[in-house]
Amino acid sequence: MLIDMTSVTDAEQDTPLYVRVTQLLTLALKQESIPVGTVLLEGHIAELMRITRTPVRQALQALLQQGLVSKFEGRGVLAGPATSTPKRLNLTAEMLGLHELDPSVRKARSWETIYNEVEQDVVHLSIFDAFRLNELELARHFGVGRMAAREALQRLESLGLITKDERQRWNVIPLNRERMTHLYELRILLEPAALESAALHAPNELLQKMNQRLEQAMKRYPKLNRKTMDNLEIDLHVTLLSYCPNQPLLDSLKRTRSILTLSKHVLGAAAPMPTRDPFLSDHLQVIQYVANGDLAAAKEALIQHLTMSSAKAIERAEFVRKHMPTPTLPYAAPIATH
Asked if pLDDT for residue 9 goes beyond 90, the answer is: no
Q: What is the structure's pLDDT at 205?
A: 87
For residues 327 and 125, is the Cβ–Cβ distance under 8 A?
Answer: yes
Quickly state the pLDDT bin for 114 (edges 50, 70, 90): confident
Averaged pLDDT for residues 332-338: 81
Q: Summarize pLDDT for 249-286 with one digit per residue, the tens.
A: 998 999 899 898 888 777 556 666 777 777 999 999 99
Q: What is the structure's pLDDT at 92?
A: 85
Q: What is the structure's pLDDT at 14?
A: 42
Q: Summarize pLDDT for 187-221 with one digit per residue, the tens.
A: 999 999 999 999 999 989 889 999 999 999 999 99
Q: Summarize pLDDT for 118-172 with one digit per residue, the tens.
A: 998 999 999 998 999 999 999 999 998 999 999 999 989 988 999 999 999 999 9
Q: Kindly state which CATH superfamily the domain 177-323 is placed in.
A: GntR ligand-binding domain-like (1.20.120.530)
Q: What is the structure's pLDDT at 108?
A: 53
What does the domain layout of the chain look like in residue ranges? 10-96, 110-175, 177-323
Is 1.10.10.10 the CATH number for 10-96?
yes
Asked if pLDDT for residue 314 goes beyond 60, the answer is: yes
Asked if pLDDT for residue 176 goes beyond 50, the answer is: yes
Phi then psi dihedrals of residue 296, to 5 deg: -65, -45
For residue 239, give the amino acid letter. Answer: T
Q: Given this chain, do its domains 10-96 and 110-175 carry the same CATH topology?
A: yes
Averaged pLDDT for residues 104-128: 80
Q: What is the structure's pLDDT at 285?
A: 98
Longest CA–CA span in the chain (Å) reads 66
Quickly state the pLDDT bin for 224 (edges 50, 70, 90): confident
Which residues does residue 40 pair with via DSSP β-bridges, in sequence order? 77
3-state SS of the chain: helix, strand, coil percent to 5? 60, 10, 35
Q: What is the structure's pLDDT at 10?
A: 36
Quickly state the pLDDT bin for 6 (edges 50, 70, 90): very low
Q: Summarize pLDDT for 43-87 with one digit per residue, the tens.
A: 889 888 877 777 888 889 889 888 899 998 878 999 999 888 899
**Strand-by-strand arrangement of the 131-133 sheet:** 162-164, 170-172, 131-133, 332-334
Q: What DSSP letter does each residue of 62-104 carry, written as one string?
A: HHHHHTSEEE-SSSSEEES-TTSPPB-----HHHHTB-TT-TT
Which percentage of the chain shows pLDDT scores above 90? 48
Asked if pLDDT for residue 12 goes beyond 50, the answer is: no
What architecture (CATH level 2) is domain 110-175? Orthogonal Bundle (1.10)
